[in-house]
């Protein structure tokens, strides 16, 4: 377990392995829906629902290679800089805007 400051807010990160699966728990001292980990999960779900199956398969492939989720999305969506911050920018986009990004920026 580590305690650190991320985006000017203290957080706790716990990493562990269970039955061959790697887990990371990221917690911030604020309402769950405002925590970055929850926000990332909602954004990733939304993108996956708007994407085609090949995008989903590419994410799965990168994860199997050991890449964390947010960096995998950032790689495929050509998000530059910090993938954790970049992914949050998708919160304000419409479904149409996300579909346009998926059509233009998916790279591998």
Q: What single string gives the DSSP state of each residue in 63-79?
A: HHTT--HHHHHHHHHT-
In the chain, pLDDT over 90 holds for what percent of residues?
A: 62
Res 7 pLDDT > 80: no
Residue 73 confidence (pLDDT): 96
**Residue 11, domain member (yes or no):** no
Res 81 pLDDT > 90: yes
**Residue 9, domain member (yes or no):** no
**Residue 5, domain member (yes or no):** no
Mean pLDDT score across all residues of the chain: 89
**Residue 57, domain member (yes or no):** yes
Domain extent, residue 83, equals 30-105
13-34 exposure pattern, b = at least 16 Cβ within 10 A, e = fewer:
eeeeeeeeeeeeebebeeeeee
Q: How confident is the model at residue 25 (pLDDT cuts 50, 70, 90)?
A: confident
**Residue 1, domain member (yes or no):** no
Look at the chain and report how many structural domains it folds into.
Answer: 1
**Residue 77, domain member (yes or no):** yes
Give the pTM.
0.79
Do 67 and 76 contact (CB within 8 A), yes or no?
Answer: no
Residue 22 confidence (pLDDT): 82
**Residue 96, domain member (yes or no):** yes
Give just the sign of the alpha carbon dihedral 39, 40, 44, 50. Answer: positive
Residue 39 confidence (pLDDT): 93
The 10s digit of each residue's pLDDT in 91-103 is 999 999 999 999 9
Residue 108 confidence (pLDDT): 56
């Amino acid at each position: 377990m580590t305690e650190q400051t991320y985006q000017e807010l203290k957080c706790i990160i716990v990493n562990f392995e269970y039955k061959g699966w790697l887990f990371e728990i990221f917690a911030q001292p604020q309402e769950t829906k405002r925590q970055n980990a929850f926000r990332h999960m909602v954004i990733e779900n939304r993108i996956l629902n708007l994407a085609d199956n090949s995008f989903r398969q590419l994410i799965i492939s990168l994860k199997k290679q050991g890449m964390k989720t947010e960096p995998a999305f950032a790689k495929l969506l050509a998000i530059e800089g910090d993938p954790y911050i970049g992914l949050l920018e998708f919160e304000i986009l419409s479904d149409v805007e996300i579909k346009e990004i998926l059509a233009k920026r998916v790279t591998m």
